[in-house]
Structure 1
Amino acid sequence: MIDPAYVQLMSRYNAWQNSQLSSTLNAMTADELMLDRGAFFGSILGTLNHLMWGDMLWMNRFDPALPAPVGGLDDSKTLHPTLAAWSAERFRMDGRLTLWASKLKSMDLHGDLTMFSRVLGQEVSKPMGECVVHFFNHQTHHRGQVHAMLTAAGYAAPVSDLFFLPKD
């Protein structure tokens, strides 16, 4: 389904997208970041926190040596109380993700991933390749929500087209 080159590309894309958000987010006040904008996770910071929570959850599933997030889905939007705290952890997470992707072998993407689903409350097994694709799709989905909230708030959201990802 996918290969390590895909995972490495998406890892680079993820880090690029997150770094591009920094200047816009840093220009916003704390009140603007925490304003409930009617999104599923409320605010821009709430959505970014949920995205971080999801990244931590999936990375722990892919590599159990990495820390799992504290709390459940309902707690995900309050993972980090400030943009500074979120930014520091985002930088660390993007580094962990890039390192994980750089070490992947084709065989790591085959077979099933067995995990406990907090949402379903039970153990499930899914094809590893599908889980990795979902992981990156989840990131893109929620960054799209952040993009829409930034635009609606009058801020210039960064370019998000994979096509424009700079070469290494």
Structure 2
Amino acid sequence: MSELSHLRLMAGYNAWMNEKLYAAAATLPAHELAAERGAFFGSLLGTLNHLVAGDTIWLRRFATHPARFAALEPVLALAPPGALDAIHSDDLAVLAAHRRMLDAMIGAWTTQLSDADLEHVLHYASTKGIASQKRFGDLLLHFFNHQTHHRGQASTLLSQAGADLGVTDLLMLIENVEEQTAPPGIA
């Protein structure tokens, strides 16, 4: 699988898993969503808000790529989160709508990427102001890995609250491949 194909698969996985997370979260009462559970960002709602904040921060950085991806233009109109624990919304429905918008943007953007885009070195500053310069393709791997990491935490928080997320394996999105056999008489 090419690097671009992998990134597009991860964008699809991201959207699929976020739909599952928000659907499971919607089965819980508000007090369960906001309950402190000892996670990095406290509650399930805190974790979901962190994913929105982190994705927004990264997408705004990615929008500075010289390719000026059309799919990322809307992210520049969004207010930048002030911190990694910024709360976009305490209302799950509002947060879910924003999440769907981000996921649609991510999916459209990954179809605009080229191999050459991945080789670009992106210069950016962390939320603490530390300057970095890294290969764009490697930053995208981090972007998707970060989402998976915190969605794993969110799935644990859902389980603690009694909500069943169901199957979460990337394997569910990987297509089966027909086994190729040699024609008769060819060894």
What TM-score do the two structures reach when normalised by structure 1? 0.91
| Structure 2 counterpart of 1:155, from 140, 163, 181 | 163
Separation in 2, partners of 1:34, 1:28: 10
List gaps (5 residues or longer) in structure 1: none
Aligned residue type for 1:122: I
Secondary structure at 2:98 match in 1:
helix
Higher gyration radius (CA): 2
Per mean C-alpha deviation after superposition, the further-off stretch among 62-71 and 122-131 is: 62-71
> Aligned-pair RMSD on alpha carbons?
1.5
Q: Hey, what does 1:46 align to over in structure 2?
A: 46
Separation in 2, partners of 1:70, 1:110: 27
Secondary structure at 2:10 match in 1:
helix
TM-superposed deviation, 1:3: 2.2
Q: Hey, what does 1:70 align to over in structure 2?
A: 81
Number of paired residues?
163
Q: Hey, what does 1:97 align to over in structure 2?
A: 106
Aligned residue type for 2:139: C
Contact 1:16 1:165 in 2 (8 A): no
Separation in 1, partners of 2:36, 2:11: 29
TM-superposed deviation, 1:166: 6.9
TM-superposed deviation, 1:22: 2.8
Q: How much identity, in percent, do the aligned residues show?
A: 41
1:122-137 to 2 correspondence within 5 Å? 122-137=130-145
Contact 2:8 2:110 in 1 (8 A): yes
1:138 and 2:146 matched: yes
Q: Hey, what does 1:82 align to over in structure 2?
A: 91
Contact 1:21 1:158 in 2 (8 A): no
Q: Which aligned segments of 4 or more residues in structure 1 are displaced greater than 4 angstroms? A: none
Q: Hey, what does 2:60 align to over in structure 1?
A: 60
What TM-score do the two structures reach when normalised by structure 2? 0.82
